[in-house]
Amino acid sequence: MSDIDPQQAQIEAKVFRRLLAHLDHRKDVQNIDLMGHSGFCRNCLSDWYSEAAAEEGMSIDKATARERVYGMPYDDFKKEYQQPATEAQLQLMNDSVAKNKLP
């Protein structure tokens, strides 16, 4: 992705910040539901954040990346907002994640 022009990079950064703001506003949406319907969740975003930083020569650990995505420490988010997953949610997530795997 090094061929992205600066204006495109700025637009994409704004989109990412808006996505984080939207997810922050919609704390009622559980990660397991995001995984089940879209194949990614807040944890995936934080992993991708760390990976992108590494590609730029920066080291951002998992806890720091999660705090950036969640807007608070991950353990605090889990305690305050995360609900236990149902069997149906787990099955939907597993089916969705299976679609993420490349052939």
Exposure string for 48-61, b = 16+ CB within 10 A, e = fewer: ebbeebeeeeeebe
CB 20 within 8 A of CB 71: yes
- CA 66 to chain CA centroid, Å, is 8
Q: How many Å apart are CA 30 and CA 36, to the nearest integer?
A: 10
Can you identify the CATH homologous superfamily of domain 6-87?
Answer: SMc04008-like (1.10.3340.10)
Query: Does residue 56 sit in helix, strand or coil?
Result: coil
Per-residue pLDDT of the chain (103 residues; tens, 9 = 90+): 468 899 999 999 999 999 999 999 999 999 999 999 999 999 999 999 999 999 999 999 999 999 999 999 999 999 999 999 999 999 999 999 999 987 7
| In the chain, where the domains are located | 6-87
